[in-house]
Amino acid sequence: MSSLTENKIILIVRKTRLDELINRFNTLSQARFYLEHLGADFSSYQQEDTVYKQAVQVAQKILAHFGRVQILDRQFLPNFVFGDHDIVVVIGQDGLVANVLKYLDQQPVVGVNPDPKHLEGVLLPFYVTDLQALIPRIFNQNHAINKISIAQAQLTTGHVLYGVNDFFIGAKSHVSARYQLQIGDRSETQSSSGVIVSTGLGSTGWLKSILAGARGISAALSGQEVNIPAQMMPWNADYLYFSVREPWPSKSSSAEITFGKITRDQPLQIHSQMPENGVIFSDGIEQDFVEFQAGTLATITLADKQGHLVGR
């Protein structure tokens, strides 16, 4: 089918669990043998694979009517150059949508839920069949947009990393991370399990987990309940939160600055004191990291760009 326009539509896809098993064990039969030998239900992997690939096939057919479609696997995202006027359609899970947003700058992103029976899809408000009516609205700029704040880590090495949900700053392994932390006019040397920086979108993820643990400890020690809102921040918040994980007070390290707000006027600065294995990674993806070794300074604040997630 010929397209109606020369607009470019990038369709972002991912490997299914079955694809990954086949890559690991070389053949479908070997993957089946491995799972069934462990007592796992192989049919659930097959069903998930079938549902997902059918959704991709239908989406591609619909999108081809409206523009030039390019299918892009998530593994190639870091090296792909998006055009300013591209429309990006992501066939999810939620984490894939978040991962895509940090590589973009205001291009509209459509999150599509390929399996509504099994995926909650907070960032996937659309079904495949919605694309038929939605894509023309996007071309005509007659669509709702949810703006998503993005965090930025700028290192003195010249590296820049973006995070749509959060950053982890610390050691690659389970050893303690050592660094000097500064926010505003407060500064101290710390030893901890690392620092988490959360955006508005990520405030229902890793940050929520940290706060839930802190609430439980505080309630147990004080005998009083501590209320924490279900969502700490809006998706387009003009600030970030940082939290220090398991800070260790000692003769050479302090634990007074453990939680706070980051703004453009008040960035968070962290000076690495780790001779090796220091890292900063974003959005829970450990492979998406920059090295953060001794002598390197990281300045963390809001990015100038925002993600544009198409809404209903």
Domain end, chosen from 124, 142, 160, is at 142
Domain end, chosen from 142, 167, 201, is at 142
Judgement on whether residues 138 and 165 belong to the same structural domain of the protein: no
Residue 239 lies in a domain: yes
Judgement on whether residues 158 and 236 belong to the same structural domain of the protein: yes
Using only C-alpha atoms, what is the Rg of the chain? 22
Query: 259-265, long-range: CB within 8 Å, 24+ apart, which pairs?
Result: 260/183, 262/183, 262/197, 262/300, 262/301, 262/302, 263/238, 263/239, 263/301, 263/302, 264/238, 264/301, 264/302
Judgement on whether residues 134 and 154 belong to the same structural domain of the protein: no
pLDDT for 173 equals 83
Closest CA to 298 of 275, 276, 278: 278
Judgement on whether residues 172 and 127 belong to the same structural domain of the protein: no
**Is 211 in contact with 271 (CB distance < 8 Å)?**
no
120-142 burial code (b ≥16 CB/10 A, e <16): ebebbbbebeebeebbeebbeee
Per residue in 69-124, pLDDT (tens digit) is: 999 999 999 889 999 999 999 998 898 999 999 999 999 999 999 999 988 888 99
Judgement on whether residues 239 and 278 belong to the same structural domain of the protein: yes
**CATH number of the domain encompassing residue 108:** 3.40.50
Looking at the 3D structure of the chain, how many domains does it have?
2
Domain end, chosen from 120, 142, 164, is at 142
Judgement on whether residues 222 and 119 belong to the same structural domain of the protein: no
CB atoms closer than 10 angstroms to residue 161: 20
Judgement on whether residues 138 and 199 belong to the same structural domain of the protein: no
pLDDT tens for the 312 residues of the chain, in order: 455 556 799 999 999 999 899 999 999 999 898 888 888 888 899 999 999 999 999 999 999 999 999 999 999 998 899 999 999 999 988 989 999 999 999 999 999 999 999 888 889 999 999 999 999 999 999 999 999 999 999 999 999 999 999 999 999 988 899 999 999 999 999 999 999 999 999 988 888 888 888 888 888 998 888 777 766 799 999 999 999 999 999 999 999 999 999 999 999 999 999 999 999 999 888 777 899 999 999 999 999 999 999 998
Judgement on whether residues 53 and 191 belong to the same structural domain of the protein: no
Residue 14 lies in a domain: yes
Range of the domain at 72: 8-142
Judgement on whether residues 120 and 156 belong to the same structural domain of the protein: no
Judgement on whether residues 262 and 157 belong to the same structural domain of the protein: yes
Judgement on whether residues 25 and 134 belong to the same structural domain of the protein: yes
Residue 3 lies in a domain: no
Residue 253 lies in a domain: yes
